[in-house]
Structure 1
Amino acid sequence: MESEKRATIMITNDDGIDAAGLRALVNVLVSTNLYNIQVCAPDSEKSAVSHSITWRHPVSAKKVEIDGTTAAYAISGTPADCTSLGISNSLFPSLPHLVVSGINMGSNCGYHIVYSGTVAGAREAFLNHIPSISISYDWVKGKSTLHDFTLAAQACLPIISALLVEIKNHRYPHNSFLNVDVPTNVANNKGYKLTKQGKSIVKMGWKQVTSEAEGRKMSSDMTNTTTALPAEFDMSSLLPETLLFAREVRPGGAKLDHDDSDDYKSLQEGYITVTPLAAISHADIDCQNYFKDWLPSVSEPPSSSAL
């Protein structure tokens, strides 16, 4: 009976069900003894898949034992698939009160939000009128440790708890969901700061590779990691004239925002950024005005002299 009175939180992510960020988040939430925790997450890393969904074939769901959860499943699909299945009443007996996606290894600010599977996990819940929040930790190789995920979860616990109060009291605004980014030095963070999605972007490029030994993989924290190509990638099946290219992060890191309320700049200053998002994006007003004047002139096919 006690469990029936508790709020239910469903956890998903894009780093995979075994990822340290997800496990830390689950452990912190379970330790409160206040919530029913469900997990529905990808069975392997699905970073940067954005809001892609599986359409042409079924996905598999394998039950996984995670201490303290009411049920946990590893799904063969994308983060959006995981959320969709988890809130469908097909996998769990009841709908969650809140979906939390994370904790991601690497920040999700600015234009990177478009690529993020972590954010997509929360956005899918939003599209289905379920309150949601995505959480990312600004992992920096050489500085961050796995314990920082626990600190990040603890730092976000008040936000999660407060959201559930708003949901219970029917005050939660259903026209948005929250994207939270936790700074690298989480132990000395400057507190919460309401921010807006900025225009920061990680500079990415392509590198031609000629062998498995040269294969490079972009890790979930948006850094280059020297690794072999995935095991399922069969080099022997390639024709001699086939060109191979792998993504890489270009020097210079992320393009900085200039507005003090932008998410990336505030995160780098040490704040835990809280950014309301929605699924519909609007062009800047100057673009709207330009095309308002331009569209009436599009009245007939162009002549050859206009091209």
Structure 2
Amino acid sequence: MEIDGIGSGNRPAIMVTNDDGIDAPGLRALVQVLVSAGRYIVQVCAPDSEKSAVSHSITWRNPLAVKQADIPGATAFAVSGTPADCASLGISKALFSSVPDLVISGINMGSNCGYHIVYSGTVGGAREAYFNGIPSISVSYEWVAGKSQINDFTLSAEAFLPIIDAILAEVKNQTYPQRCFLNIDLPTDVANHKGYKLTKQGKSIFKMGWNEVTSDAHGGKMLSTMTMGTDSAGSAETDSQAVSADYQLFQREVRAAEADHEDGTDHRALREGYITVTPLGAISRAEIDCHAFFENWLPRAAERFSSSAL
């Protein structure tokens, strides 16, 4: 199933994926802004349903079901897999005739800062492109129920459009760094943001707990996804498989939020009203003091326990 990219000339190709699903307002707003700019070939390869908080999981044993989707101005496909699956398939030339110049994963409904980056399917989509040597961005908007509006996704896309153009210029000049990808978060009041700020991944996280629930409270079905924040616009979806009375049901809940107090971190700058731009690598390295501890500890441990085993 191979379809040539739309457009002609030297326009760069941008492939969009996400974890909220191909019909999510964040993805649709981003694609609309990219198409309206008239400067890009726009491709979409995104999950056919919500795949939030799946991290970098991939589909291994089963084939993916792919169906062409109707998104004006773009060549688009809905895929039964995860964001990482979609990124991998989209850059493989199995669907599109060429490899994209840039992959954008988003715009996610809800921020992805600190330790939440590990859970994020949005970040997973961008990371998969990075694994394959394709410049990529994961982008999220800090949606807050009661304050945010659907149009904020359009404002978010417009706000980081200069970053897209700047990256593509570096890619064209072959000067873009290949040892990282970018994670961008946009503040709730994106219309009045304070500008871009280069940040580092912090340690903010929601502390989770578990509550036992009854099947009656959820229509006899088990909860299949979790809501990462108490102010998220999304709600937990339900699996189609009914749960037997032989099972106990436990549902996640947010018990507390642990914020960053260190300067220069993504979550702190986001809450201050900045558009945060955080370079990420494939993995998170341990803190320097941990490495120093084990540098001294390992020779002693190896000698001690090797001797005691004799």
Does 2:25 match 1:20? yes
Does 2:127 match 1:118? no
Decide which moves more: 40-49 or 213-222: 213-222
TM-score, scaled relative to structure 1: 0.92
**Which stretches in structure 1 are left out of the alignment for 5+ residues?**
none
Partner of 2:46: 41
User: Percent identical across equivalent pairs?
Assistant: 62
Q: Secondary structure at the match of 1:298?
A: helix
Q: Deviations over 1:203-224 (max 9, x none)?
A: 2111111124257663365657
Q: Deviations over 1:245-301 (max 9, x none)?
A: 111112x4x311122200000000000000000103221111011111111122336
| Cα offset, 1:228, TM superposition | 7.9
CA contact (8 A) 1:7 1:97 kept: yes
- For residues 108-257 of structure 1, what are the structure 2 equivalents within 5 Å? 108-214=112-218, 218-219=226-227, 223=231, 230-235=238-243, 238-240=244-246, 242-250=247-255, 252=256, 254-257=257-260
Partner of 2:8: 3
Q: Within 2, Cα distance between the matches of 1:80 and 1:226?
A: 21
> How big is the alpha-carbon RMSD for the aligned residues of Structure 1 and Structure 2?
2.1
Q: Within 2, Cα distance between the matches of 1:230 and 1:211?
A: 11
Does 2:276 match 1:268? no
CA contact (8 A) 2:145 2:233 kept: no
| Cα offset, 1:61, TM superposition | 0.8
Partner of 2:99: 95
| Cα offset, 1:229, TM superposition | 6.0
CA contact (8 A) 1:193 1:271 kept: yes
Residue identity in the other structure for 1:136: S
CA contact (8 A) 1:106 1:222 kept: no
Q: Within 1, Cα distance between the matches of 2:236 and 2:279?
A: 38
Q: Secondary structure at the match of 1:180?
A: strand
| Distance verdict in 2 for CA 1:72–1:270, change over 3 Å | same
Q: Within 1, Cα distance between the matches of 2:140 and 2:175?
A: 25
Q: Secondary structure at the match of 1:21?
A: helix
| Cα offset, 1:81, TM superposition | 0.2
| Distance verdict in 2 for CA 1:302–1:154, change over 3 Å | farther
Residue identity in the other structure for 2:84: A
How many aligned residue pairs are there?
A: 298
Q: Secondary structure at the match of 1:232?
A: strand
Residue identity in the other structure for 1:36: I
TM-score, scaled relative to structure 2: 0.91
Does 2:290 match 1:287? yes
Which of 51, 59, 68 is the matching residue for 2:56? 51
Q: Within 2, Cα distance between the matches of 1:182 and 1:224?
A: 15
Residue identity in the other structure for 2:81: G
**Which stretches in structure 2 are left out of the alignment for 5+ residues?**
1-5
Partner of 2:73: 68
Q: Which runs of 4+ in 1 moved over 2 A?
A: 214-229, 297-304
Q: Within 1, Cα distance between the matches of 2:196 and 2:234?
A: 35
| Cα offset, 1:231, TM superposition | 4.8
Q: Within 2, Cα distance between the matches of 1:271 and 1:94?
A: 35
Residue identity in the other structure for 1:233: Q
